[in-house]
Amino acid sequence: MQEEPNPVKDYLFEYIEKSSTIPELIIQKKFDLVIDEIIHNCYDKIISIGDKDESMGILATGILHYLLTNALLNSQRKIEYQGVELDIVIPDIKTLEKDSKMTLLICIPKSSDKKIIDEKILQLEKIQPKHENIWLVLSEDIPTNKKTFVLSKENNSFSKIIFEIAQFSNVGGANKFKILRI
């Protein structure tokens, strides 16, 4: 299934490809610095491409997909489960069905409308009974009852997400390779 071209994703991956520092940071497992570099150098251009929330959502999804792959953390991206589109599932749907406490759902709502975010959370809570295993990535700090990472130029907490995911995977024992020792 071929995804349609997207200017935000194209810009992100073109930037990553041209970067002289990102490959070295990946080798050193400095994923927070990779995210910081991308946000520092791409944020302004990407928010100018289209709707800010939509663009930040696409950016967050692209960065996460790229870094989860490079961190060798199992994940599934953009899949539908029980009629709900899931942005990122770690490690996978099979694990969610067998052992929900070992599964993390990362929601990237592409909206800063609290009502839309709350509706999405309610959908996810029907699928993931361990409510603390539902995390959000937002383009601004909106109060929720979930662990939230904010992808923004100032007060960016998104850069810590890979380490938090790795900790979740290592503590739960889901990351069999223990690639990231934290």
User: What DSSP state is assigned to residue 62?
Assistant: H
Q: Which CATH number covers residue 14?
A: 3.40.91.80
Q: Domain count of the chain? A: 1
Query: Containing domain of residue 33, as a range?
Result: 7-172
Alpha carbons 179 and 26: distance in angstroms, whole number: 12
Residue 179 counted as domain residue = no
Residue 180 counted as domain residue = no
Question: What are the tens digits of pLDDT across the range 76-90?
Answer: 999 999 999 999 999
Alpha carbons 149 and 138: distance in angstroms, whole number: 6
Residue 21 counted as domain residue = yes
Residue 111 counted as domain residue = yes
The answer to whether residues 169 and 73 touch, using CB atoms and an 8 Å cutoff, is yes
Residue 154 counted as domain residue = yes
Residue 67 counted as domain residue = yes
Alpha carbons 76 and 88: distance in angstroms, whole number: 6
Question: What are the tens digits of pLDDT across the range 132-171?
Answer: 999 999 999 999 999 999 999 888 999 999 999 989 987 6
